[in-house]
Amino acid sequence: MNLRRFDLNLLRALDALLSERNVTRSAERLFVTQQAMSGSLGRLREYFDDELLVRVGRNLELTPLGSALVKPVREALWTVETALQTTPYFDPKITQAEFRIAMSDYASFAVLPSLLRFFSEHAPGITCVVEPIDNLSVRKLEFGDLDFCLAPAHWELISGKRLPPEIESCLLFEEDFVCVADPANADVHDNLTLEDYARLDHNLLGLGNGTESLVERTWRIKGLKPRIVARAPSFAALIFMLPRTRITTTAHRRLAEALAPALGLRIVECPLEIPLLREDLAWHTRNAADPLHTYLRETIRQVSRQLTSG
């Protein structure tokens, strides 16, 4: 790219167009008119001598050059933003900042309250935006739309693939599983066998997009095909739907111990050998040396260590 010929103001427009693949949404994202965004697209096409976006049916699709530009353009923008945000010192008591993290509702239950209490006391200017973890979260991490992902170390369960090399991660804590059921359910008893477990009515987390939970994956690997009578949108909902039913759920021990007593439910040891759930924190290497990002990482790790010791 010849910088003497390229208007750097177009870089944000190019990033939005390549990401949204839609002129109207790109204009809304940058708070400009659709006419202005169309003009920017025309100038970009002229500079690159390529259409960048072509109409296929009712949608716009990237040309090969457009696809090749997605990652370097986003990285260039992030480099500029990082440089502009660099400060000679970092003081958590006075810093005003917002970070974005994706996690499951279980991770929100296990980590988030302690994390927010810590920030309230030690870094009151830091705010947190949380979104559900899904199969696009790793991609958002790559493109800078997220600062962190807090998710199972079995990343292929979330994104369908292993973490790319530019994503770093560390172990936060481990968790095992128990069975939870209504005490009136005579089929669930303290000495539950694997045969008993397989005959029970179960519920299961409905992740969608072909994504498996660790429990569902273990069932498949072990060749178990329990009867699934309900699917739930969250880990907590798996437990909340149990009172006065014959449904059994296989839940994280911490979550079960927090919710089951208040609902009058019983907890028994799970006879199925499910691998320990390893919760990881992941971030992009571009942020590895940033003082604020380093502080956030270490705080999340510190809170998680306290969770484990507690």
Residues 164-208: tens digit of each pLDDT: 888 999 999 999 999 999 999 999 999 999 999 999 999 998 876
What is the Cα–Cα distance from 66 to 18, expressed in whole angstroms?
7
Domain positions in the chain are 10-75, 97-174+278-309, 177-275
pLDDT in tens, 117-144: 999 999 999 999 999 888 888 888 887 8
Predicted confidence band at 212 (pLDDT cuts at 50, 70, 90)? confident
Domain 10-75 has CATH 3.20.20.70: no
The pLDDT tens digits for 78-119 are 777 666 665 556 788 988 889 999 998 888 988 999 999 999
Domain 97-174+278-309 in the same topology as domain 10-75: no
C-alpha–C-alpha distance, residues 99 and 156, integer Å? 25
Are 240 and 259 contacting, i.e. CB atoms less than 8 angstroms apart? yes
* Radius of gyration of the chain measured on its C-alpha atoms: 24
254-305 pLDDT, tens digit each: 999 999 999 999 999 999 999 999 999 999 988 887 888 999 999 999 999 8
16/70 Cα distance (integer angstroms): 10
Classify residue 82 as exposed, middle or buried by CB count within 10 Å of its CB (0-12, 13-18, 19+).
middle
**Worst-scoring range by mean pLDDT, 54-68, 74-88, 145-159, 285-299?**
74-88
Which position has the token pair 């239950």?
109
In angstroms, how far is CA 257 from the centroid of its own chain?
24
Backbone angles phi, psi at 243, to 5 degrees: -55, 135
Fold of 97-174+278-309: D-Maltodextrin-Binding Protein; domain 2 (3.40.190)
Q: Looking at the domain covering 177-275, what would its CATH class be?
A: alpha beta
CA dihedral 121, 174, 98, 237 (to 10 degrees): -100
**Looking at residue 159, what is its pLDDT?**
66
